[in-house]
Amino acid sequence: MPHTTAGQTVLLTGAAGNIGRAFRRLAGERYQLRLADTKPIHLGKNEHAATIALDVADLAACREACRGIDTVIHLAADPSPEAGFYESLLENNVKGVYNVYRAAADQGVGRVIFASSVHTCGGYPAGFQPHTDTAPRPPNLYGASKAFGEAIGSVFAAQEGLTSVAIRIGAFEHGPKDPAHPDPSEAAFFVSARDLVQLIERCVTADLTGFHVVHGLSNNRLPAFDISSTRALVGYEPQDDGFAYHG
């Protein structure tokens, strides 16, 4: 049964980050949001939402954050490809993602949208275009932590019936340095704020059960990752092109 936006209570982790702020700005008014982050969350002038401090490495805190929630959009993580495993990834990207899924299942949440990354498949040779069923091949520990998050989503779908969608997010709002002569290695991974927010919303509302992977890239002329199955699965209709992006 498809979710609808009307009356949806959504826990948005990582709400103070770049993607979290974009979602709040472009789609926040359509949901009852509970905003969570370790950093201070500054509400906009016309923004009305509950805010909580949340360390996702704390399972009890995650359970409390998920109480009464319909959908979790899990953005909280260390986003650095250079992040150290013991220094950050273990707590934020490994324990954190497990805790969010465990808490969501325990509290009867219907769906988790997980912010994965194109880094999960960054270890393939240049020119190879991953599809949504391509097995992860991460080139760094950050990508490995996101591949772990995808695997956890699959486990909770298989064992506990929790619907989950992992979005392999590209280069968010990071366009080519020279718009007149865009570098394909930059532009091919681009995803705009409005396209990514649209995709997140489609993942919230699509008629889905089980676990799925989708690709979070814009309608780039030469896309680094295939988005055809993402279009078909959730009705994604990206509007922007990294090769025409001017920042």
Residue type, 51: T
- Check residue 1 and give its pLDDT: 42
| CA atoms of 15 and 42, how far apart (whole Å) | 10
Tens of pLDDT, residue by residue over 69-128, are 999 999 999 999 999 999 999 999 999 999 999 999 999 999 999 999 999 999 999 999
- Whether 31 is catalytic is no
Tens of pLDDT, residue by residue over 7-24, are 699 999 999 999 999 999
Q: Chain-wide mean pLDDT for the chain?
A: 94
On whether the CB atoms of residues 74 and 115 are closer than 8 A, the answer is yes
Q: Which two tokens stand for residue 165?
A: 């969608």
Strand partners, 128: none
How would CATH label the architecture of 9-244?
A: 3-Layer(aba) Sandwich (3.40)
Catalytic residue from among 31, 101, 142, 245: 142
- CA nearest to 69, candidates 101, 38, 117, 25: 101
